[in-house]
Amino acid sequence: MNTFPFRYTFQDVELLRRALTHASYSGENNRALSILGEKVIEGSISLQLLSKNIDMSPKDLNRVIVDLSSNVVSSCVADGGRLGLQKIIRVSWKTNSSAPAMVCGAFRAVFGAIAIDKSSLDSAGKVFLTIHGKGMEKAMAILLSLLIAKDEKLYRKIIYTSLCFKAEVWNENLEEEFVLMREIIDDYSFVAMDMEFPGVVIRPIGNFKSINDFYFQTLKDNVDMLKLIQLRLIFSYENDNLPNYGTDQCCI
């Protein structure tokens, strides 16, 4: 295996093998590559930030780098899971390859391995941005605008939410997630819902009291007819407090 899911082909397949080897499995492991990969991520963020605002102060630059890097760390479990890293990381028989630390370490190590394979931090950064590019650009734009507007309260709120662990629910873990939702619903009774559906294929016919009634019926008819692409639920209680399931990290 020398081709990775995001269309990068390793010239030296041993680098990929090492990036996917945990210290519990071998002395030749991914620890150093993981550190290098973290620097690749920070460098990519710095480049993107300064290309948007070359006059940014060192203080603001460092602050946004730290905040955005933390966001990447918090989401690397989901990113690594989408790439299937938990299935191919080499670990000892008594080590859980799906543990967040394992997946995140391998996720960062892959970019460190690409940097060595290409002898270029820039090349590794470009590969990283193919995965995180759109979300990263949006987050940068929001944070930069808030820094300029000096809206400290909203800045902190966005960072707090972005650092939350986002649970992904699929067929294989559906029942487990329903159990967790039932456990918290009494304490976190404010529920926000967001959904995606294929689009508008029909429009209702008839008389409506207002344009808003027409829009609502259009949405309802299409959602009822089509299959949802994605449904997102966020549980909270007053003041936007989010559940943490006994950990030190908020969860969505």
Give CATH for domain 3-163: 1.10.1520.10
Rg (CA), the chain: 22
- pLDDT confidence of 128, banded at 50, 70, 90? confident
Please name which of 147, 134, 132, 140 lies closest in space to residue 72, comparing C-alpha atoms: 132
**Residue extents of the structural domains in the chain:** 3-163, 173-240
* Per-residue pLDDT tens digits for 10-48: 889 899 899 999 999 999 999 999 999 888 877 777 777
Q: How far apart are CA 205 and CA 76, in angstroms?
A: 47
- Quote the pTM value: 0.53
* Per-residue tokens: 39: 């620097």
> What average pLDDT does the structure give for the chain?
75
Residue 71 reports pLDDT greater than 60: no
Q: How far apart are CA 62 and CA 43, in angstroms?
A: 11
Buried b (16+ CB within 10 A) or exposed e, 40-63: bbbbbbbebbeeeeeebeeebbeb
Amino acid at 151: D
The pLDDT assigned to 33 comes to 94
